[in-house]
Structure 1
């Protein structure tokens, strides 16, 4: 971006052998040359600063793929002290060494982060015939500092200290070069090429294979929420998902006919088990030479319009698998080939034969398309719209958005894209392909909110209505535990919607898994964890995962699965309001403990607990407890109830969700965990709404809600409602009702309803429950109320 240079040029004399240097004050910051490096520092807002460094004599004008915010004029002052220039902003102080070029960031209280002395390195690099650089920048972190984010990794770590990451998008590892510190700042490294992140006791470094400049953003936010708010302002806000997306989803790899898919929905309805989403995985298009044709060419799908209508007729929704690649016999392949928008490296599937392992004698010829090319994205949507969306499809399962890159060779990265070499833009591929579908759907309708389930992610992707799953993980107890930190760190990367394949995708570790007591227990525990993720979705290959595959009603495993699906639906008023907090107030749905308890040192590196919204603490069970070997045969044994230790963060009191037993924070407690119990604790002062028992999310209006109050502190909760789909909320078509609990006076204030939307409830009942051991516990709605309130939208004070 061109920055207007003011007429005034300040001359600064510095000591030593270095001659006189200049710096220039611009509308947004400072521009200078130090040691043959251009250094541009400018404010994007009072809390966010961009730093650019590039060799003298070169220009740099790259348009960011992630950043969509423009810099804002911000008040700041300059003050020189010897060899140091202070750029004093409204919220941030920036120190620039006029001798070395080192940049430091501070508030009035303390230094937050400093570049390492001589930590900027440019190395000549030939990028597919283009002379450029490899670039790196090192920083110095405090010894006791914790950092989080950097996308999705499967190593089970919350804090990202003392690690090295080779950041290239993969199936089960997604990379976002952004981290958040418990000191209340964040750093976004704006580069899309293969990048190494490494943290050692001496320094913390980003090193990218290709870059015309060191280009990063520093943001201060006081706490993690504030930092993430700045990252969202910089790279895009989160749109609302439809209410139905927060219900329960069922899929498998794969439904082989439309009858099979429709019958799954029918079975759920017959069993009176809630379901909102069903997913059709790959090969509905037929053979691999027709890969991703975006048409129902498989004879098992002879009437796709009827299939979609049948699903909708049972009040369920359907999304469908689409890929980033095309088979050689598809129309898309031929048209993309003519425009030079296909990549030549090997991708999945390898063989035209559907048998496994792949038969290399019959190569599939499938190629990845150039999602960086606007014309290619237009063509992608044209066929998707005509072949699938017009049937009434409700959303997209965008698989292989890394994309799959098999038999990798370094020369593959020389592949030409619309934006230069594939090497230069490699990690931004998911952002481009997901963004292409999202933008096009928004351009044709505002009646249906964009919903995209995707396997890979990059910075800024939260603006595209996408939910990232953690990849095709191999089922194990360690894998279950690893999903917790993987998802939480994605949330701490500014991207709040994520999920995992409940039960694990591959079942290689289990013999006869559906009959294996250890796997059945694992599946239940994964289901319990999935209840508290932004999306609750059961999926996997090899063996079907519908709950009726795990027994019948009245058996422990079946009953536990059913219990948590129903709990998910009871929590929908809380979940949908939390979703609104994400959109309206830049919040996060799943919250690492650092977000709410940054002052509690014991909470900073816990990798198996999190907050779901701001009221509910969840601690999933991640080890086997109820299966054992007897004479080489594994059997289930529920005769002895086991327990799990749970740390309750200090500073607040906690209620056991199941028993209402109250605990003081700052201690570790033992919680009994029979197969159907996940440790859940609710903060004192919380107000939780519970919805009606339903078979799908919108079956009943929220005209009769149970309102649970957890005494011991003042609290508030704002119930959000809208039309459950479409984008009219962006025009103000929604309502909010604020609940305020005064603990000292034991008074609940239900404030005046604000806002309006079509068919909004004019009257409703709130069943108020002060939670105690005999009421307001567990999943069943209370039969005892402290007060029943008929509410007409006017302010009410309820003394309890």
Structure 2
């Protein structure tokens, strides 16, 4: 990983404005011709291109997979030994037998070095590919297709435990050299065009090398990381305004409205296939005025609410005569309209696609449509070019048109088209069956997608359909899915056109609503961290959600716990994929060694290097923070991501010293590659036991960057400090203040408010804990306080006249006494720890029925 960081710092000043510039011609110094019909290109120390062509005609065009070969030339040397040509880098040794013809196992080999010896020859089959992703999860219940009765077969990915990967680009389509590069077929498909990547178990280096030739994961606009409301429903202007009003009423953040197919007119209400074999109501380009009497004003209203919109497109049936754009489109295409036929869709026809954008789509973008949901019929091929998949090609065409013709950052929401489609961002995983099996499978599916850099899957959170009518929503399943979705790359609820599938958060009651509300709020609180990790993905190829084996490649548990994942560099998530038993979800969690881990929902610091079994109530989710991590966050006041908020919340977690940085940019600009800023944070334990946090001056600049910001520092899992200073100035304890500090006993955190911090100045915060130095409050106190409150509430609900015993009453109010009397923190904690084990005996004195007593004891952890 050190090599990656060094390389990044060397090239960051010359990064291009767009995410994917095509530079397919390699530096001549990287190219070696072993003979007239054999050419090798040294791309990185671990990556070599190998070409054989009978006529000695080699290709320097970009392909659908490889768009860049103009890389810094790595050190290498060549020599000849006994008719063998040998090429060596620091990572590979290639041997080719001179004048022996087309590559095969007898004349070509590559050995990986140094250390563990791995030797590859042509024809060798990978045994342990770690898989990539798939086109769609339509009709899948978990990994089982309910229609075809088949298991899902994931495509192979970039990574394998074999330690090497071969990309065969020999028959792939190419891109021409026009100002909008267009598809072209290879003239000679009998040659060989291979890329060998050798990496042993250094998966992160392998993915970085892959980005160097296949392009980066473009950074989506900041708003894309907020909450998307989506439902297949014939929403009207009035209904969508009502939905947004409810989001505001319930104080739920929202960034994107997704309009499914009914936004447009169709030529039939029947399901009969048209001349292109498509359902007649799917394709449409003209606003349905019965639902949206003035689309432009609707879009203006949405923008006034700082909400983005995306519209669903199914282009298969072309442009029908009833479309408002039909005549103008026909004139541009010289299409004979006498018969009033549809103008057929021709994705590989450049003039057709340019006309589609100029005449149909760009006018709607000017009205206010922010981006497109390209829901193409997944399995169709282009009519003119054999083998050209519409899914892959249309993703390319739509995204690159936005790169060329829009001032805002390109974003496209679409199906997976195959290798290379990571360059076009957000994926739609498809219409999954609503079930625990589907929820349980999605973390694995998301994890492996990062192995092909497809790091922005958008799932139908809550599932799409039951496959039959008459079934309502399971509130527990929906709640667990929302909690998982909040810790996904893209957070979008969705469902089929079924009146029983009402997934609006306010449709749920009690603990289910509270848990979903908290999950959405958590998503927004973590946005600075998420956005920083999205930039990290752009720079390195390491996606936001990724398997455990990226960080722990030599640990078998990293492969066994394949639903578990790292959410960025400092957060581990162990998803819940089954219903609760007796009020709890039980999860086996692997906590890797090398770190301790802070179980955030319960306030428990756990040792790394072990597998633990943990229990979580409906309002808890298995989130683990690396000990000492510093997590940049937003406060509760953030309702959408249209701009950078004035206040940053910095979470400082216990167990170690740490460091972090926060990435920022203008949010929706195309020049993010060169215009951005970082803020570095460090925490240090001083010799006297004090904790020091340093906020460094901001480095970099971008449009709209503010000269000052407010900070809230939250020290999770720390005792009450005796003294707090900021740049030497002592801060006072206050319950609420713009400047000062207080203790939040619900989160067991000290919170320091610092207003008006100049971003070009260093800020030093010190906490001296005095008599509380070394006092541990990370043994689940946070969870105990919460559960005590519920137990006392349930006892009163069962018997309104019950007299809560003094011991239990005092224990339940401990958190409040901590805030009221912070100077007594140590004594109060010690008293709590002494009295908590007395609960079973105290409960017996109440004479409760056996079921109630058993529930209380179990809920409080006495088993």
Name the structure 1 match of 2:575. 620
Distance 2:743 2:157 in 1: 40
Unaligned runs of 5+ in 1: 7-25, 120-137, 158-162, 166-170, 195-209, 343-363, 406-412, 627-638
Distance 1:223 1:50 in 2: 20
Note the C-alpha offset of 1:503.
1.0
Distance 1:5 1:576 in 2: 34
Name the structure 1 match of 2:420. 460
Please say if 1:792 is aligned against 2:765: no
- Matching of residues 93-242 of structure 1 within 5 Å: 93-97=93-97, 100-112=106-118, 114-116=120-122, 119=123, 138-139=124-125, 141=127, 147-149=130-132, 151=134, 178-182=157-161, 185-190=164-169, 212-220=190-198, 223-242=202-221
Note the C-alpha offset of 1:173.
7.2
**Residues 647 and 668 in structure 1, CA contact (< 8 A), matched pair in contact too:** yes
Secondary structure of the residue that 2:750 maps to in structure 1? coil
Please say if 1:29 is aligned against 2:29: no
Please say if 1:738 is aligned against 2:717: no
CA separation of 1:585 and 1:782: change in aligned 2, threshold 3 A: farther
- Matching of residues 45-56 of structure 1 within 5 Å: 45-53=44-52, 56=54
Name the structure 2 match of 1:551. 507
Name the structure 2 match of 1:479. 438
**Residues 435 and 463 in structure 2, CA contact (< 8 A), matched pair in contact too:** yes
Distance 1:641 1:263 in 2: 35
**Residues 718 and 750 in structure 2, CA contact (< 8 A), matched pair in contact too:** no
Note the C-alpha offset of 1:95.
2.9
Please say if 1:41 is aligned against 2:47: no
- Matching of residues 284-303 of structure 1 within 5 Å: 284-288=263-267, 289=280, 291-303=282-294
CA separation of 1:727 and 1:59: change in aligned 2, threshold 3 A: closer
**Residues 68 and 214 in structure 2, CA contact (< 8 A), matched pair in contact too:** yes
**Residues 719 and 749 in structure 2, CA contact (< 8 A), matched pair in contact too:** no
Note the C-alpha offset of 1:84.
4.5
Name the structure 2 match of 1:324. 315
Note the C-alpha offset of 1:277.
0.8
Distance 1:483 1:287 in 2: 34
Instruction: Give the counterpart of 1:253 among 232, 235, 248.
Output: 232
Secondary structure of the residue that 1:671 maps to in structure 2? strand
CA separation of 1:591 and 1:113: change in aligned 2, threshold 3 A: farther
Secondary structure of the residue that 1:490 maps to in structure 2? helix
Note the C-alpha offset of 1:453.
1.0
**Residues 75 and 89 in structure 1, CA contact (< 8 A), matched pair in contact too:** yes
Please say if 1:440 is aligned against 2:397: no
Name the structure 2 match of 1:715. 658
Name the structure 2 match of 1:68. 67
Secondary structure of the residue that 2:132 maps to in structure 1? strand
Instruction: Give the counterpart of 1:282 among 261, 268, 281.
Output: 261
Note the C-alpha offset of 1:780.
7.6
Most deviating of 758-767 and 655-664: 758-767
Distance 2:341 2:577 in 1: 42
Note the C-alpha offset of 1:393.
1.0
Note the C-alpha offset of 1:81.
4.2
**Residues 673 and 679 in structure 1, CA contact (< 8 A), matched pair in contact too:** yes
- Matching of residues 582-731 of structure 1 within 5 Å: 582-625=537-580, 640-694=583-637, 696-698=639-641, 701-731=644-674
Secondary structure of the residue that 2:78 maps to in structure 1? strand
Name the structure 2 match of 1:508. 467
CA separation of 1:685 and 1:113: change in aligned 2, threshold 3 A: farther
Distance 2:301 2:151 in 1: 34
Distance 2:546 2:418 in 1: 19
Name the structure 2 match of 1:304. 295
**Residues 320 and 343 in structure 2, CA contact (< 8 A), matched pair in contact too:** no
CA separation of 1:504 and 1:617: change in aligned 2, threshold 3 A: same
- Matching of residues 520-535 of structure 1 within 5 Å: 520-535=475-490
Secondary structure of the residue that 1:696 maps to in structure 2? coil
Please report the RMSD computed on the Cα atoms of aligned residues, expressed in angstroms: 4.0
Note the C-alpha offset of 1:642.
3.6
Note the C-alpha offset of 1:337.
9.4
**Residues 154 and 172 in structure 1, CA contact (< 8 A), matched pair in contact too:** no
Note the C-alpha offset of 1:396.
1.1
Secondary structure of the residue that 1:388 maps to in structure 2? helix
Note the C-alpha offset of 1:304.
0.7
Distance 1:187 1:47 in 2: 12
Query: Normalized against structure 2, the TM-score is what?
Result: 0.70
CA separation of 1:4 and 1:309: change in aligned 2, threshold 3 A: closer
Note the C-alpha offset of 1:747.
2.9
Query: Normalized against structure 1, the TM-score is what?
Result: 0.75
Structure with bigger gyration radius? 2
CA separation of 1:193 and 1:475: change in aligned 2, threshold 3 A: farther
Distance 1:658 1:684 in 2: 15
Secondary structure of the residue that 1:283 maps to in structure 2? helix
Secondary structure of the residue that 2:572 maps to in structure 1? strand
Unaligned runs of 5+ in 2: 1-22, 101-105, 174-187, 268-279, 721-741, 768-863
CA offset digits 1:24-81 (Å, max 9, x no partner): xx96134448xxxx55332233332112345x45856475122111255554322344
Name the structure 2 match of 1:264. 243
**Residues 677 and 699 in structure 2, CA contact (< 8 A), matched pair in contact too:** yes
Instruction: Give the counterpart of 1:449 among 409, 412, 425.
Output: 409
**Residues 655 and 683 in structure 1, CA contact (< 8 A), matched pair in contact too:** yes
CA offset digits 1:286-308 (Å, max 9, x no partner): 22557533221452222111211
CA offset digits 1:279-327 (Å, max 9, x no partner): 1111322225575332214522221112111212222111111123235
Please say if 1:762 is aligned against 2:707: yes
- Matching of residues 352-431 of structure 1 within 5 Å: 369-400=345-376, 403-405=378-380, 416-417=383-384, 420-421=385-386, 423=387, 425-426=388-389, 429-431=390-392
Note the C-alpha offset of 1:481.
1.9
Note the C-alpha offset of 1:276.
1.0
CA separation of 1:283 and 1:682: change in aligned 2, threshold 3 A: same
Distance 2:353 2:530 in 1: 33
Higher-strand-fraction structure: 1
**Residues 84 and 96 in structure 2, CA contact (< 8 A), matched pair in contact too:** yes
CA offset digits 1:688-715 (Å, max 9, x no partner): 1221114632378543333222233442
Distance 1:720 1:183 in 2: 35
Distance 1:777 1:588 in 2: 35
Distance 1:192 1:779 in 2: 63
Secondary structure of the residue that 1:188 maps to in structure 2? strand
Give the number of equivalent residue pairs. Answer: 672
CA separation of 1:714 and 1:509: change in aligned 2, threshold 3 A: farther
CA separation of 1:97 and 1:681: change in aligned 2, threshold 3 A: farther
**Residues 653 and 664 in structure 1, CA contact (< 8 A), matched pair in contact too:** yes
Name the structure 1 match of 2:846. none
